[in-house]
Amino acid sequence: MNIDPLHAEAEGRLRILQVLEPSGGGSGRHFLDLCRGLHERGHHVEAAYSPLRAEDAFVRELKSLGLPAVHAVAMKRSPGLSDIAAHRALKRIINGSAPFDIVHGHSSKAGALTRLRLPGLHAPRIYTPHAFRTMDPTLGRIGRLIFGSIETILAKLFTDHLICVSDDEHAHALSLGMPERKLSVIINGVAPPPLDMANTVRASFGISSDAFVFGFVGRLSYQKAPERLIEAFRNAASRLPNAELIMVGSGELEQDVRAAIANSGLQKRIRLTSAFTGPQAVPAFDVLVMPSRYEAMSYVMLEAAASGKPIVSTDVGGASTAIDKDRSGLIVPNDGDTAKLANAMVESADPQRYRQLTQAALGRMANFSMGQMIDKTEAVYRRLAASR
């Protein structure tokens, strides 16, 4: 652990509680990076996660960080009576023997449970949504009203600060009526992926070095829309006989995704695995494809950008941050038209166009720093703790 004791003593050691429900995907990656980075800077960091949807790799990594305490709290994704027990468990942790300076909830469920409290003195409550539910363009008017109202009430009455992970998410928060004085934008940062994994990943599937590989990394969920990518690849495959698709992830739609792959007739050209992490898999891709319905700021897009990889993405939150449109990648309308996604994939694989996209992507590699993310988050913590 690389602690600078002089820096920690001079600046003051904070007691921080990080709380997350999904325990995987991009929000899980952000959570682990924050816990590790702040712990290495000498802060007392405790973590609370839900074992109900936790990915094994997430739990292993979290427990390997050497934090003073890791708490398992059974938080369910959907609202229900189980939230009462989860809230009580978190309250016991927050009101433990030594008070926390900061309580930071990530994603909607943990964000709500950590912020709901009675009036009075309290440790500052920070919330990072990792994509508001209302950013989903397919959400109906009633759903948008319900979810938007809940988020806005929580932001106005129970939140000391809300951290958005992209300018798109910040603009969306303002559109919901959240007070600007409580908002800030801190773009996720990443460590450079291990480029030496490229051959390992390809070899594990028997994919030749001269094949053109499209890649996907993400939870197999409605938000990430993996079925869109399978349909788009099926559309593009006949025009790209040398193309392969690697899909990395797991989740509630895994059986549906496997069935879609089987029905595509392209089983030998589409591989689905959860054996690799995003940073391990991205170097094996020629182009990352993001078919999501909505995002705030996808970690895998940042990992691809930090690897100098072109990106093809639907027009979701964070896409314009990770992609220099039509230069380092392509952005297609987020209207569910998989033919547009397929055409963009074909365009990105054209040899001349691919060289242009890659050259621009390589020029942007240094723009996404994890250290900068930790610095800005720590600054928010210190400001709130000082004004408590």
Same domain, yes or no, for 118 and 264?
Answer: no
Confidence of residue 11 (pLDDT cuts 50, 70, 90): low
Distance between CA atoms of 70 and 46, rounded to whole angstroms? 6
Q: Output 77-86 pairs: Cβ under 8 A, ≥24 positions apart.
A: 77/21, 77/22, 77/52, 77/53, 77/109, 83/109, 83/113, 86/50, 86/113
Same domain, yes or no, for 148 and 228?
Answer: no
Same domain, yes or no, for 100 and 147?
Answer: yes
pTM for the predicted model, two decimal places? 0.74
Amino acid type, 312:
V
Mean predicted confidence (pLDDT) in 111-130: 93
Same domain, yes or no, for 177 and 274?
Answer: no
Cβ density class 174-198: b for 16+ within 10 Å, e for less: eeeebeeebbbbbbbbbebbeeebb
Residue 95 has pLDDT above 60, yes or no: yes
Mean predicted confidence (pLDDT) in 11-32: 89
CATH number at residue 11: 3.40.50.2000
Distance between CA atoms of 218 and 209, rounded to whole angstroms? 24
Residue 3 has pLDDT above 60, yes or no: no
Distance between CA atoms of 130 and 306, rounded to whole angstroms? 20
Distance of CA 52 to the CA centre of its chain: 19
Q: How many alpha carbons lie under 13 Å from residue 253 in its C-beta half-sphere?
A: 18
DSSP state for residue 219 in the 8-state scheme: -
Same domain, yes or no, for 96 and 168?
Answer: yes
Q: Give the closest residue to 13 by CA, choosing from 42, 48, 35.
A: 42
Give residue-wise pLDDT tens across range 312-355. 999 998 899 899 999 999 999 999 999 999 999 999 999 999 99
Residues 6+ apart with CB under 8 A from 215: 245, 246, 247, 248, 281, 282, 284, 285, 286, 287, 288, 289
Alpha-carbon dihedral sign for residues 95, 98, 107, 254: negative
Residues 6+ apart with CB under 8 A from 374: 33, 34, 37, 38, 41, 189
Same domain, yes or no, for 255 and 148?
Answer: no
Same domain, yes or no, for 159 and 203?
Answer: no
Give residue-wise pLDDT tens across range 138-194. 888 999 999 999 999 999 999 999 999 988 899 999 999 999 999 999 988 888 778
**25-40 and 299-306 helices, crossing angle to 10°:** 70
Amino acid type, 310:
P
Mean predicted confidence (pLDDT) in 88-105: 94
Structural domain count, the chain:
2
Distance between CA atoms of 363 and 357, rounded to whole angstroms? 10
Q: Distance from first CA to last CA of the chain, Å, rounded?
A: 30
Mean predicted confidence (pLDDT) in 202-206: 95
Same domain, yes or no, for 323 and 375?
Answer: no
Distance between CA atoms of 137 and 189, rounded to whole angstroms? 26
Same domain, yes or no, for 307 and 228?
Answer: yes
Mean predicted confidence (pLDDT) in 281-306: 93
Same domain, yes or no, for 264 and 362?
Answer: yes
Contact of 176 with 132, CB cutoff 8 Å: yes
Question: Which residues, listed in sequence order, are joined to residue 125 by a DSSP beta bridge?
Answer: 103
Same domain, yes or no, for 109 and 154?
Answer: yes
Alpha-carbon dihedral sign for residues 216, 324, 307, 210: positive
Q: Which helix (H) or strand (E) holds 66?
A: none
Amino acid type, 237:
A
Instruction: Name the token pair of 232.
Output: 């788009």
Same domain, yes or no, for 34 and 182?
Answer: yes
Contact of 129 with 105, CB cutoff 8 Å: no
Residue 262 has pLDDT above 90, yes or no: yes
Range of the domain at 109: 5-189+369-386
